[in-house]
Amino acid sequence: MALLIRGGRVIDPLLDLDDYLDILIEEGLISRIAPRIEKEGVPLLEAQGKVVAPGLIDMHCHLRDFNERRKETIATGTRAAALGGFTTVVCEPNTDPPMDNAKTLQRWIRLAKQEGCVNLYTKVCITQGRRGEQLTNLKALVRKPWVVAATDDGSPVVKDEVMGRAFVKAREHELLLTPHCEESRATIQAFQRANPLIPLPDAIALYKREPHYVARDLMLAEKANWRVHICHVSMAESLDLIKKARARWVPVTCEATPHHLTLTEKDAGKCGPDAKVNPPLRKKEDVEALRQGLRDGTIDVIASDHAPHTPEEKARGWEEAPMGAIGLETTLGVVLTMLVHPGIITLAAAIERMSSNPAKILGLPGGSLAMGKPADITIIDLEEKWVVDPLSFASKGRNTPFTGWRLRGKAYATIVKGEVVMKAGELLV
């Protein structure tokens, strides 16, 4: 199958490319890039007035499925990804049941092959049941090319000794660790059980927070001389620790989410449970630090942390509602509206953080428009104006803090391995 993309502004940070070019796709690969390509009998996709970029990669996404199909499935989640401009999605392993054994992983692979409409990869659990006690059998879980990292996302691995052994095992199997460095409800409750006289609000305040786990995991990464990618950084202090670690040549990368880059703890009160996320929304000073981290390169990746829940669950009220917000269909629009158009970061930097860098960190085949690369391409309309309406989403989730936001910029087309899976807001799969 062939396709000719004509007349778009082609931006590829890895190639240091920003020019008006045609792209010819043949047999699912990029075969030629030039100012003007003539090829008879090849379908045209006109891209004048639009940006043609390497396919967006979301390296932190919850697609649920298994026993939580009411929240999201691989089928609905990947279609939401296509609408949002993502050609590749990396799933978190805190599923029900968790991705901590070969049988569950194989079940996921079957679903991914059957139901996915974009490229799919997954992480696996660091510990059995994500309980932080016994390491999983990484040797049995490193299934290439499907498995790209290990994490107990949703909870930190609390015990230093267990996490230390995880780094040793990860290096042995050449698997990236992407730890969740933040207090979770489960760990706070465990702390309170051990200190029953301390009220819950005080327990939350006293319990070791994000910077503690960031510092600990950076130290363990340095000791093991192995790579670590810090998930959803949300605090200025965490960024400072990462900067200092890089100065010591610790192999660390990190990510931030659109909601942590645009919303504060005051917004959480206005939005209600749809803004209850893990880690929580932070202070204005933290948001400003994150934005500076994007500008100076401390933050390598923007990831959605798409975390769908049912409307009934989110309607329980702040204390009882689960943590998480959806983001596959809003991430690009929020980044363009709140970060690119105001000049906080350049368009090339946004593409780098949402495509080139995730591919490089995870060793994925995308992230560039170089000839011979897979034809995973996102075409972006920088000027399309639209209002966030979760009722129109392909995702089963409706829990977004951006409901009603007026955004400027949206994915116009999503091309996966040379196949147009979405165009002008219409799914073609």
pTM across the whole model: 0.95
- What pLDDT score does 269 carry? 86
Q: Quick check: is 42 in a domain?
A: no
Q: Quick check: is 188 in a domain?
A: yes
Residues belonging to the active site? 305
Helix (H) / strand (E) containing 149: strand 147-150
* The two three-digit tokens of residue 198, written as one number: 């301390």
- What pLDDT score does 182 carry? 77
* The two three-digit tokens of residue 347, written as one number: 């368009």
Residues 71-92 as b/e (b if ≥16 CB within 10 A, e otherwise) read bbbbbbbbbbbbbbbbbbbbbb
- What pLDDT score does 103 carry? 97
Report the CATH number that the domain containing residue 131 is assigned in CATH.
3.20.20.140
The C-alpha atoms of residue 116 and residue 88 are separated, in whole angstroms, by 10
Q: Quick check: is 19 in a domain?
A: no
The residue segments making up the domain with residue 357 are 54-362
3-state secondary structure of 103: helix
197: number of Cβ within 10 Å: 6
- Is the alpha carbon torsion for 352, 354, 357, 359 positive or negative? negative
Q: Quick check: is 3 in a domain?
A: no
Q: Quick check: is 215 in a domain?
A: yes
Q: Quick check: is 288 in a domain?
A: yes
The C-alpha atoms of residue 85 and residue 351 are separated, in whole angstroms, by 11
Residues 59 and 29: beta-carbon distance below 8 Å: no
Domain count within the chain: 1
Q: Quick check: is 234 in a domain?
A: yes
Question: Considering all CA atoms of the chain, what is the largest pairwise distance in Å, rounded to the nearest integer?
Answer: 77
The C-alpha atoms of residue 191 and residue 188 are separated, in whole angstroms, by 5
- Token look-up 């989640």 returns 77
The C-alpha atoms of residue 98 and residue 118 are separated, in whole angstroms, by 22
The C-alpha atoms of residue 119 and residue 146 are separated, in whole angstroms, by 10
The C-alpha atoms of residue 352 and residue 14 are separated, in whole angstroms, by 8
- What pLDDT score does 145 carry? 95
178: number of Cβ within 10 Å: 30
Q: Output the tens digit of pLDDT for each of the chain's 429 residues.
A: 799 999 999 999 999 999 999 999 999 999 999 999 999 999 999 999 999 999 999 999 999 999 999 999 999 999 999 999 999 999 999 999 999 999 999 999 999 999 999 999 999 999 999 999 999 999 999 999 999 999 999 889 989 999 999 999 999 999 999 999 876 665 666 656 766 766 666 655 555 589 999 999 999 999 999 999 999 999 999 999 999 999 999 999 999 999 999 999 999 989 999 999 999 999 999 999 999 999 999 999 999 999 999 999 999 988 889 999 999 999 999 999 999 999 999 999 999 999 999 999 999 999 999 999 999 999 999 999 999 999 999 999 999 999 999 999 999 999 999 999 999 999 999
Residues 21 and 8: beta-carbon distance below 8 Å: yes
Q: Quick check: is 73 in a domain?
A: yes
